[in-house]
Amino acid sequence: MAGDERDSPIGEDKLCIEMLGAGQEVGRSCCVITFKGFTIVCDAGVHPAYTGLTALPFIDNLDWSTVDALLITHFHLDHAAALTYIMEKTNFCEGKGKVYMTHPTKAIYRFLMSDFVRISNAGTDRMLFDESEMLASWRQIEAVDYHQEVVLGGGLRFTPYHAGHVLGACMFMIEMAGLRVLYTGDYSREEDRHLVQAEVPPIRPDVLICESTYGTQSLEPRLDKEMRFTALIHSIIKRGGRVLLPVFVLGRAQELLLLLDEYWEAHPELHSVPIYYASSLARKCMSIYQTYIHTMNQHIRSRFNRRDNPFVFKHVSNLRSLDKFDDKGPCVMMASPGFMQSGISRELLERWAPDKRNGVIVSGYSVEGTMAREILSDPDEIIAMNGQRIPRRMSVDYISFSAHVDYTQNSRFIDEVKAKHVVLVHGELKNMSGLRAALKSRYSDREEDVQIYMPRNCEPLYLSFRAERTAKVIGSLASQPAKPDRPIDGLLVAKDFSYTVLAPDDLTEFTGLTMSSMLQRQHVSLHVSWELARWHLEGMYGHVDEGVDDAGVRCMRVMNVVDIKQPTTHELLLEWESSVSNDMVADSVVALLLGIDSCPATVKMTMHDHVCAHHHPAETSATHASQLESLMAVLEAHFGDVAMLDVGGQPMLSASEPSDPYDAQAETSMAMEPSSSATASTSDATDRPEAQVATTEPPGKENDERPALDRLLELIQGPVRPAIKVALDDDPAIIELETMAVHCLTETLKQRVEKLVAMIQSTSETLTDTFRLAPVCSTMLFQGKHSDVEMPAPKIEEAVPVSM
């Protein structure tokens, strides 16, 4: 269950998603994902409608030195153009984070960014970065393959998957401390003429961050829009006009070039009409496309295997600039950039706009604030880059070849991914709100619990996840099927937030680790006698084992884990096998021994000669007496008078013997009844539980006028043993001193007394009795000479009383 951080219950893990760009807008995509100390940034683009620093994401909201990885989904400027500024102009370089993108994206990014630097820095002194800074940052980028799992360590990893959209585009499946987040970037679920469609990852994510560019719009089928597109171009050429196709240099341009080249081949009457691909990077980028044909769909790969290179066009000419362009007669001009903010596409728009024979076809998504969006509103005039007003008489059409998902594709993809939390990004507010409402209605009708979010820029979204941990049992422990009531005893191995349980013997085989034990030794100066030290230890821990080791050195063992030896007269040696619990016991023993000299009890006991040796009789003595005194004091405070008495002495009854004369009379009367009733009564007496006999009066004794104490004593069987009695309103309760068992005719009073007895037992037990630690690995009483592999059994001797 996820929600806002303020409403998150304690003990849950919080995922933070903050959009530094593309939050309820299209452009400057930048998504920061933080979880359990990890920070991942996805994309770093600029806004196409702005220039300079205003086009950048809100980079001041993040300490870039804390970023573990910066992942770029594809080469488009609104997803990658701010990368150089972040790498060179922020403290990103002070951290350990790296930048990752696919091989085709890295290859195209270099040439695309060179063109971006040239265009954006033209006519201005306020450059974001220069060519040398771009190249320096480009060399630091790590290129990865599709489906390659990149492990960054400590539970952080990611895997790129095909996203369609453009060559090299990918979506990232990010795993952070066991939590999976799928970031799609721009993606397309429709296979076109050269690209594969976006794939659904085989692993189900916990959170899906996906684009919402088209909101609830549904685009027309590919074949229909291809026919409409070619027919529209053909009609403009027939009327003697020029066709302007503003596109980005890479991406949809290659798809349209394949379509036009195929259409021209099928229509000989168009062979005299030139098709221009106007871009300074056209030739370089086409060589990259030919290099990475293996990443494209089966149709392109099959043509290439037949030695038919689809990107060697027969009817398309490259045009580096307009200086050599002979602007005469009909033609088709594919020019960049797609938003017509500047460059060749903007220059041709201003040149051709007054002629009604010409036409412009916008074939991709247009961002708010760009010329491509403005011209779609059919204005009567446009504003030139020099500020002049130019009449607009050319035709304007919009046929979307944008490689973004529409509502049909997006909703189907979200269904197939099956994430419980969907975060919508990269969409204008109107489209994003419509998509969110449609998805909520969709899942509400299905009664599915899917949460939909649409965060704004710089407003963190917190999702809380229950801290559930699952351990996988492997090795010999997994050979036996697990049972609900059978505990699993093994080693818990944690690595990168994944947990494995295995037997100690399997540790080396499955993990490459080995088990070892650490023996700790601590020397403590002692200026009092051995017997006084033992007296203090017994006062703190209760029972202490004493003897000598194989070398004849006097030894004591505290709580089964710490050995105390006296190698010299004024020195003690502590030895224990290191563990969390053993170290705690050893620390307390050291603290106690260091404080013996200044302890008031030590001063008092050493003021006259006495014997400190303790001869331990039966194990009940001091501790049991102290416990009894405490018990009687508490009971007297609660109930008043406390009396000692003996219980038991009643013979153990068989099922056929009556317990007293009353039972004999009842048996005589039952014999006069029909046999069936006698059988039933006998069965009831036999099956009656013993606990019920001890707390409830037997049936048929409701009229027993004897005192309640006499009736209770008759119910306690077994040998004679000591006990104490308390009473509340003439209702007695008896506590056996040996077992602390409570007998009472009233269940309520019995439970009250049992709680008091349990409280006294818990407060009067020694540390040794309360905390039963597992003995050290050696089964010997004392560890002896630890340098020896096998140690002989120690000789246990009785301590000799010493006068101090």
Which positions are annotated as active-site residues?
404
Beta bridge partners of 700: none
**DSSP code, position 674:** -
**Residue 549 phi, psi dihedral angles, 5° rounding:** -90, -170
Helices (H), 644-729: 661-671, 675-687, 690-695, 708-715
- Cα–Cα distance, 375 to 373 (Å, whole number): 6
360, 246 Cβ separation under 8 angstroms: yes
Closest Cα partner for 631 from 502, 516, 763?
Answer: 763
Give the list of residues 6+ apart from residue 333 with CB closer than 8 angstroms, or none. Answer: 242, 243, 244, 245, 276, 278, 319, 348
Which residues are within 8 A (CB) of 769 and not within 5 positions of it... i.e. 6 or more apart?
542, 543, 623
Question: Could you tell me the two tokens for 600?
Answer: 């008031």
What beta strand segments (E) does 194-300 contain?
Answer: 207-211, 242-246, 275-278
Euclidean distance between CA atoms 226 and 128, whole angstroms: 39
Q: Which residue has the tokens 């409701």?
A: 702
Residue 559 near residue 771 (C-beta atoms within 8 A) = yes
Q: Which of 711, 714, 699 is closest to 669 using CA atoms?
A: 699
3-state secondary structure of 645: strand
DSSP type of residue 798:
P
| 623 burial via Cβ count (<10 Å: 0-12, 13-18, 19+) | middle
| Measured distance CA(34)–CA(15) in Å, rounded | 6
Distance CA 669, CA 163 (A): 92
Give φ, ψ of 408 to 5 degrees: -60, -50
Q: What share of the chain is helix, strand, coil (3-state, %, to 5)?
A: 35, 20, 45
Residue 362: closest CA among 348, 376, 347: 376
Please, what's the b/e burial string for 624-655 (b: 16 or more CB within 10 A of its CB; e: otherwise)? eeebbeebbebbeeebeebeeeebeebeeeee
The backbone torsions φ and ψ at residue 759, rounded to the nearest 5 degrees and listed phi first, read -65, -45
Q: What is the CA radius of gyration of the chain?
A: 43
Distance CA 101, CA 185 (A): 12
Helix H segments across 573-660?
A: 580-594, 600-605, 621-639
Q: Which residues touch 536 (CB under 8 Å, ≥6 apart)?
A: 592, 593, 596, 599, 601, 602
Which of 232, 186, 195, 207 is closest to 395 using CA atoms? 232
* Cis before 337 (ω within 30): yes
The tokens describing 576, both together, are 């224990």
Beta strands 519-525; 571-577: pairing state: antiparallel
Place of tokens 């006062």: 539
What is the C-alpha separation between 540 and 459, in angstroms, rounded? 57
User: Smallest Cα–Cα separation from 14: which of 24, 1, 27, 26?
Assistant: 1
3-class DSSP string for 648-670: CCECCCCCCCCCCHHHHHHHHHH
Two tokens at 362? 């916008």
With beta carbons less than 8 A apart as the criterion, state whether 124 and 132 touch. Answer: no
Residue type, 772: R
